Structure 1
Amino acid sequence: RGGADALVYFGGNAEDVSANLAMLKAILPGYSLFLVNYRGYGGSTGSPSEAALYADALRVFDYVAARHENVSVMGRSLGSGVSSFVAVNRAVDRVVLVTPFDSLAAVAAGFFPYLPVALLITDRFDSAARVGRITAPTLVIVAEHDEIIGPTHSDRLIAGFAERRPIVATIPGAGHNDLQEHPAYADALSDFLQ
């Protein structure tokens, strides 16, 4: 739809981004919504890599920004890394990072503490190294019982913000994959983006 406000949504790894459409339409009635499937997912062709996802994300953002005055970005899990990259490379209106992590290498090392996984991972998605350069208002949404991205990883990411501290909303009782089932999730998004 037309209008000044738009939201570009970058989902988690292998996430069906269309599952978010009804909720986002309900809480953001004035927004144009762009939900991005990564290369190799959801009918998109190609092979995903960190560099390819970043390049695609900037192209999508530029397309949307040419048509809308205020463009916000939102990313969940893996998408939080993509959104943080866009937010430091483009003039975004607002940023929402959902179940974010400090770096993919750190998360993987937490699952395999006795293996040198940090040396093996080529796609690092080192969000903590860049979030200090985000200048747009930012909301970080954390699931209280996130079994994939532990609180240490979200806390490290939040600590990476420099002078402009994000708003942090912890969703009580939520896990990594059931966050959208908790009304507090939609409330936090609506309060921040409206």
Structure 2
Amino acid sequence: MSPRGATWPSVLIAGLAAPFVLYITFIGLGSIPFFQRHFLYAHKINTLFWHDLDCPEYWAFARNQVTPFTLQTADGEKLYAWHVLPTSVYLKHEDALLKAAPGRSSAAESTAAFRLLKNDPDARVIVSFHGNAGHVAQGFRTDHYHSLTDTSNYHLLTIDYRGFGKSTGKPSETGLILDGVTLANWVMEVAGVPADRIVVMGQSLGTAVTSGVVEHFALQGVDFAGMILIAAFSNLPQLLTSYTAGGIVPVLSPIKNIQPVVRSIQKFIVDKWPSDDRIARIVENTSRRLRLTLIHAKNDAEIPYLQSNILFRSAAQAVLGKVLEDAEFETWKAGVTTVHDDGTFTAIATSSGQDQPDIIVREEIVRYGGHNHVMMSSTIPLAVMRSFEN
């Protein structure tokens, strides 16, 4: 056999082994907290090089409809934030807003947009937390803001978490929750909007932040008007056995049947984001009223909609006040579920005791939208409206 011919088996073996070696390398690096957090949060992947976040008109907002400003956290980080005015409010004050200087404000309380929020006794606010990677204006996020503010009277507030976009610091579970708490506190304490006129929502990673923020306040007896989780996940260790990054790259699903290996890898996960446990505690600690909505697309290729099923079960069992066996729970859920002809469904759990808080937990599985485009689903503004209903 010629030397040249002898190389073909080696090339073939190397070609077959390469994906395996890359996968093992990826898993190995993922066990190191520094790399793990970069993989999880992807906070360095953004379009800041060619997008100026201080010029929101690029994303089809009217001049000064969006006020960029900075918030400071209790541990000294500076968070980049947007305040999006509803178009209806903008129209009434258009002349004054057009005359204001554009750009980021270091003192949000001095802006015209802040005064419009602060001085409106009926103002309603959506606090929105985005997913991993990018910044406040990345991808479909601005379309999402438009869908919520273009035809309503809702103000929208959002931030880049620490380490994301123009915010300082490095991301971590406790850090991101503190960032979310900082924004919610600002809306309530500085802008003067009571919790019962605030809906807190998140998408993907933002659902975990939302759960952490709402739990923080629920333990203090504070009830928000609503809590909306879009494309949520139960907890990170469990998610990784079915998660596909970008809808293309599987994480632990190739080895999910090798349970000893999976459990060993899960032990190295630093930020666990246990939204299933947090949601149960939110229900258990609701003082007067809770409107919790889970929205997930059936064709989500990144986070399977079954993850929202897990969260619904956590919330529903907390409403019922007992843990059900699998078969018992499925029988109960079938009784509160409306199944549509396309295979999608709506399940609703409600509190029934006279002495219980007024709780409605709603799971909506829609047919289309994938992981990101679902943010433009009409089910989201509908969920906001239901949350604000008396």
1:56 aligned residue: 179
In the superposition, the TM-score normalised over structure 2's length comes to 0.46
Which residue in 2 is equivalent to 1:147? 301
Does the residue aligned with 2:179 lie in a helix, a strand or coil?
helix
Query: What is the identity, as a one-letter code, of the residue corresponding to 2:193?
Result: H
Residue pairs, 1:2-17, within 5 angstroms: 2=117, 3=120, 4-17=123-136
For the residue of structure 1 that corresponds to 2:240, the secondary structure is: helix
After superposition, the Cα gap between the structure-2 partners of 1:59 and 1:180, relative to the gap in structure 1 and judged at 3 Å, is closer
2:386 alignment partner in structure 1 = 192
Indicate conservation of the 8 Å contact 1:108/1:117, yes or no.
no
| Contact 2:162–2:169, Cα closer than 8 Å, also in 1 | yes
Find out whether 1:124 has 2:272 as its counterpart: yes
State the match for 1:75 in structure 2. 202
Distance in 1 (alpha carbons) for counterparts of 2:274 and 2:187: 25
Q: Which portions of structure 1, spanning 4 or more consecutive aligned residues, are displaced by more than 6 angstroms?
A: none
- Kept after mapping to 1: 8 A contact 2:298/2:304: no
User: Counterpart of 1:86?
Assistant: 213
- The runs of 5 or more residues in structure 2 that have no matched partner are 1-115, 243-250, 320-358
Residue of structure 2 equivalent to 1:100? 232
Aligned partners of 1:109 and 1:117 also within 8 Å: no
How far apart are residue 142 of structure 1 and its match?
A: 1.0
* TM-score normalized by the length of structure 1: 0.89
Q: Match for 1:24: what amino acid?
A: L
Q: 1:9 to 1:181 in 2, by over 3 A?
A: closer
- From the superposition, tell whether residues 142 and 132 of structure 1 become closer, same or farther in structure 2 (CA, over 3 Å): same
Task: Please list the CA deviations of residues 106-136 of structure 1 after superposition, one character each: whole Å capped at 9, or x if unmatched.
Answer: 1113331244331121011100011012232
Q: In structure 1, list runs of 5 or more residues that go unmatched.
A: none
- Aligned partners of 1:79 and 1:167: how far apart in 2? 18
Distance in 2 (alpha carbons) for counterparts of 1:187 and 1:30 = 12
Of structures 1 and 2, the larger Rg is shown by 2
Q: Percent identity?
A: 27
Q: Distance in 2 between matches of 1:144 and 1:82?
A: 23
Aligned length: 192
Q: Any conservation in 2 of the 1:139–1:192 contact (CA below 8 Å)?
A: no
Cα offsets for 1:23-53 (capped at 9, x unmatched):
12125x2222101211121211211100100
* RCO higher in structure (CA 8 A, sep ≥6): 1
Does structure 2 retain, via aligned residues, the 8 Å contact 1:10–1:79? yes
Work out which of the residue numbers 124, 130, 145 in structure 2 matches 1:21: 145
Q: Identify the residue that residue 371 of structure 2 maps to in structure 1.
A: 176
Aligned partners of 2:266, 2:277: CA distance in 1, in Å? 15
Larger displacement relative to structure 2 (139-148 or 12-21) = 12-21
Corresponding residue for 1:44?
A: 167
Q: Which amino acid aligns with 2:382?
A: A
